[in-house]
Structure 1
Amino acid sequence: MLQRAKQPKPPFTLFQRPGGTIWSVRFSAGGKQIRKSLETDNYDEAHHRAYQIWSEANYRVKNGLTATVRPFHEVAEEFIKLVETESERGDRSEYQPRDWPPVIHRYLVGFFGDKPIDAIREPDIERYIEWRRTYWTTGPGKDILYIRYERGGKILRRSARHEVPSVSRQRGELVIVRALFQQALKWGYMGKIEIPDIKVRKRTDNRRPSFTPEEFALLITTSLERIHPAPSGRKILSRDGRVWLQHRQNQHVLSDRIKLHAYIEIGAGTGMRPTEMKNLNWGNIVGFRATRDAPVRDRDVRFQVQGKGKHGTLVPLPSVISWVHTLWDKFIDEVGREPNDDDPVFADREGKRIQSFKKGFAELLNACGLKQDYRGASRTTYSLRHYYISEMIASGADVYDVARNTRTSIAVIDKHYGQVDVERLKDKLKPEHTRF
């Protein structure tokens, strides 16, 4: 007589909540109890699904993973909390809890979303990298006009840039990607995957343009001519056909052009960044008040500058001092008093800080045909900083000293700033012992 084999006890328990008809499963795996709805009221189907869930959980535990699958967005939020906690106790840089969450939320969560983190493979990372490159051009961000962000407890916004991120930007964001997935590996949420690097294609020459000495001389000459036009005056043609010569300039225009010229001379004589010049107050020009009436040879001043997250003290060229005097006198003439230490050096007629010389500088560049350099790259006020650094190097100044005085590194100078014509270095490139 055949006997029915005794069925082994299932490694899980099926149950229904009081008053409900949907089956759920409960079991232990990896030292934790797992509860999960089976989303069916059919017992046989529930039994079948329970075996699948139990088997998958045990497979994950045996392979060093957590028993349950974690969606990417949950792991991302857990990682952000970890970054904030570690930053508070000094284990991470203070900028990471500020700069990393927006990248994680917008790009990583935007791409991976609810995908189980242990289901992400290297091809998925490759697809993410390409998706990120085109996010603002043809992807989800192409129709976004503004980016909102929080600073100092206030919600601000800035215009979105619809462009492909630079290689350095992409590599910087991959640091965040690697950190997140490495932490997920430590938590046992996934196996190890390799995060590919950004492949660098042949780079174009994207240095900001400078000026040659001849071009800078033309810039200065044109600027002075606009301040002091020819005695014959300027021909004015009215709409009704009348013609006359204008011998006297509008005083507001004249004042703006004088300040622009001073801005150019000071920028080219100090190497300050545009933001540093904008932030410059009279109290930052150390020694100017004390030596204002002294002979030129005794006017030894220093500039205390801050901007772009950097600060320091610089030594200006002597030619700068006379233009500082010009701005001092213009302030007194327009505002009716001497500047205080907290007044801006570059001030409008009401003594308020001038935010930018971009428009006036562009008009001057157009007037002397210097809007673009030989590569077709457009010049900006930043070109004055490049001119200062290039001229200092060409004149034989030590590049280390130049780097310290301009608050940058030798590597950055070599890569972006030192645009010195080889022809100007011909004597240095032909040592004495090689000459006939």
Structure 2
Amino acid sequence: MEASNSYKVIEELIPKRMWILLWEKRRSKSWYCKIYTGDRKYCYRSLKTTDKQIAKAKSYDVFAEVLQQFKTTGSASPKTIRNLCDKWVKRQEDRNAGGNLSTTLYRAHRFIFSVYVPNYADFKKWKLIKDIPHDGWIEYRKWRMEEGWKLIGLDEKGNERKYGNKLRHQPKDSTVNREVTMIQEWYKYLLIPEKLMMAAPIIEKAKQRKNQHNANPPFTRDDYRKIYTRFRSWSNEKNLTKSQKPEWRKVVYLFFLLSANVGWRPDSEGLELTWDNVKIRKRTTKLPNGENKDEWIANLKIWDRKNSREREGNFLGGEYFNRLKEFYIEWHKKDPEFHLPNRKSLIFADPATGKKLSYTSITNTYKKILDSLGLKDAYTFYSCRSFYVNERLKEGVEVFTVAKQTGHSMQICNQYYARLDIQSRADEATKRTYGKKKADEGESLF
């Protein structure tokens, strides 16, 4: 315990448990909170104010926070691994609230740093951040594959989540690779700047067995037709009860159609789009038979979260936005309790509540549609994006234009283009001639 003459002023707020004080020989004029943590040990926290009354009010919150941390981690030190995990999650929450991080990525950070990282630390018997050796993360992949996956569906206390995913299975290499990246970012943007660590850990990433193109294969045109036809029938089923959400079904169906006609990243871009980022115009096109056809073109401004920039493009499928708008207005007229959009509203919202659609609910429905067609595991929802790229390239749209529309790198778009080029030139590549003499190749010089 500090000698009493170290304090300029000290006042007891909770008998034998908490005091506020000013230091005698420190430059800081801020008030501090002194808290007894047991076993003749104390911890000190700056209250970051020179006003005594404000310091008193803040000290009770700090006291509760320290006790909760001590109960959770067994240490009052702000440098415990669990405390720094919580600090990182709070930072990601702030980024999400400010629009700089998608909700999907925020949830991934929250789960990894409230479950996997603390449990791995417990497995390695680390409590404080200083306990982690530089090579301490080498076993992380092995632990995740053998033990960590069993934590799916549990909260940070090990209790089963009421609404958690009960389906437990080992993660894919790509999933662990993503977690490795997040751990390295934790070091790079929190632990190293605060001088708690010298360098980010080296954790090997598994090489992917599939490239990005094969991971989300594009639909064949026949399969796409089957899928949207079955989706349409599902969305138009008659005599549905309110609990079967007939209006919600129509929104989900239109989300599928637009995902295949725009090629956005469905979870982090499509579901985040608001009405003020969409403009629709009519275009009249002359068909080969001489008839005119009206088409609705959508001009979209999409926030590309992966590359942290806005991209703008023109897309077919504007009629689906028109149809969705008319649905919302029609449903609101029938029942004023239903959501009525405005310019700042999300486009894909639950008609009953106005809240953003759940990507998990959408993909679960989509999988049921695929199962009913005998296409189980044949495609992912991201196949809508791959399908869009494929179709535009087949129609002769320049690779650079498609890359700008979708936010793909030129490298990825060129992979699609090369694959299509090989398919389209199959006859040329396998051409054979019969009965023709071999051309004279000349003679060797030696």
* TM-score, L = length of structure 2: 0.50
- Cα separation, 2, equivalents of 1:382 and 1:395: 21
Deviation at 1:221, TM superposition (A): 3.4
Report the secondary structure of 1:408's partner residue. coil
Match of 1:336 in 2: 333
The equivalences for 1:82-121 within 5 A come to 106-108=119-121, 111=124, 113=126
Aligned to 2:273: 280
Q: Is the 1:302–1:313 Cα contact (8 Å) retained in structure 2? A: no
Please name the residue that 2:405 is paired with: 405
Measured after TM superposition, the shift of residue 426 of structure 1 is: 1.9
Q: Distance in 2 between matches of 1:162 and 1:226?
A: 30
Unaligned stretches of 5+ residues in structure 1: 1-72, 88-93, 149-156, 229-247, 374-378
Task: Tell me the residue number matched to 1:269.
Answer: 261
Aligned-pair CA distance for 1:271? 0.7
Deviation at 1:299, TM superposition (A): 5.0
Contact residue 251 and residue 348 of structure 2 kept, 8 A? yes
Match of 2:347 in 1: 345
Question: Who is 1:203 aligned against?
Answer: 209
* Maintained 8 Å contact 2:260/2:385: yes
Aligned residue for 2:376? 371
Tell me the residue number matched to 1:244: none
Aligned to 2:227: 219
What residue number does 1:385 align with? 385
Distance in 1, matches of 2:421 and 2:346, equals 39
Amino acid at match of 1:269: N
Q: Hey, what's the Cα distance between the residues in 2 that align with 1:313 and 1:194?
A: 32
Structure 2: distance between partners of 1:116 and 1:352: 43
Tell me, in whole angstroms, the C-alpha distance in 2 between the residues paired with 1:403 and 1:340: 31
1:324 is displaced (CA, Å) by: 1.7
| Matching residue's letter, 1:368 | L
Q: CA deviation at 1:304?
A: 2.5
How far residue 217 of structure 1 moved from its aligned partner, in angstroms, is: 2.0
Structure 1 position 362 matched with structure 2 position 367:
yes
Residues 1:325 and 2:322 are matched in the alignment: yes
| Cα offset, 1:250, TM superposition | 2.2
1:168 corresponds to which residue?
177
Question: For residues 303 and 147 of structure 1, do their structure 2 counterparts lie closer, same or farther at Cα, with a shift above 3 Å needed?
Answer: farther
Q: Which amino acid aligns with 1:111?
A: K
Per-residue deviation, 1:116: 12
Cα distance in 2 for residues equivalent to 1:271 and 1:346: 16
Match of 2:425 in 1: 426
Give the counterpart letter for 1:262 in structure 2. L
Contact 1:304–1:311 at 8 Å: present in 2 too?
no
- Change beyond 3 A, Cα 1:426–1:221: farther
Amino acid at match of 2:331: E
Aligned residues of 1:268 and 1:385 also touching (Cα < 8 A) = yes
Separation in 2 of the partners of 1:209 and 1:329?
33
Counterpart residue type for residue 312 of structure 1: E
Contact 1:391 1:420 in 2 (8 A): no
Q: What is the DSSP-based 3-state SS (H/G/I as helix, E as strand, rest coil) of the residue aligned with 1:357?
A: helix
The answer (yes or no) to whether the contact 2:363–2:381 under 8 Å persists in 1 is yes
Shift in alpha-carbon separation, 1:249–1:193, aligned structure 2, 3 A: closer
- Kindly indicate whether the alpha-carbon contact (under 8 Å) linking 1:282 and 1:340 is maintained by their aligned counterparts in 2: yes
Q: Distance in 2 between matches of 1:101 and 1:347?
A: 29
User: 1: CA distance between counterparts of 2:78 and 2:429?
Assistant: 64
**Quick one: structure 1 residues 255 and 418, their matched pair in 2 at CA, closer, same or farther if it must change by over 3 Å?**
farther
In the superposition, the TM-score normalised over structure 1's length comes to 0.51
| Aligned counterparts of 1:312 and 1:193: Cα–Cα separation in 2 | 32
Q: Would the aligned equivalents of 2:79 and 2:128 in 1 still touch at CA under 8 Å? A: no
C-alpha deviation, 1:361, in angstroms: 2.6
Aligned counterpart, 2:64: none
User: Which residue of structure 2 lines up, in the alignment, with residue 134 of structure 1?
Assistant: 146
Which stretches in structure 2 are left out of the alignment for 5+ residues?
1-76, 92-99, 102-108, 158-162, 284-291, 335-339, 437-446
The whole-number CA distance in structure 1 between the counterparts of 2:344 and 2:78 is: 49
Shift of residue 311 of structure 1? 5.6
Letter aligned with residue 383 of structure 1: S
Q: Deviations over 1:28-51 (max 9, x none)?
A: xxxxxxxxxxxxxxxxxxxxxxxx
Quote how far apart the aligned CAs of 1:329 are.
Answer: 1.7
Do the aligned partners of 2:303 and 2:310 also contact (CA within 8 Å) in 1? Answer: yes
Judge conservation of contact 2:180–2:205 (CA < 8 Å) in 1.
Answer: no
> What is the CA-CA distance between 1:369 and the residue it aligns to?
2.8
**1:305 partner amino acid:** I
Contact 1:270 1:314 in 2 (8 A): no
Structure 1 residues 199, 145: closer, same or farther in 2, change over 3 A? closer
Q: Is the 8 A contact 2:304 2:310 kept in 1?
A: no
Q: Describe the SS at the equivalent of 1:350.
A: coil
Please tell me whether the aligned partners of residues 260 and 357 of structure 1 are also in contact (alpha carbons under 8 angstroms): yes
- CA shift for structure 1 position 422: 6.2
Measure, in 2, the Cα distance between the counterparts of 1:202 and 1:273: 21
Cα deviation, 1:232-290, whole Å, max 9, x if unaligned, reads xxxxxxxxxxxxxxxx92267765554444222211110122232322332221246xx
Q: Distance in 1 between matches of 2:209 and 2:333?
A: 53
Name the SS of the counterpart of 2:343 in structure 1: coil
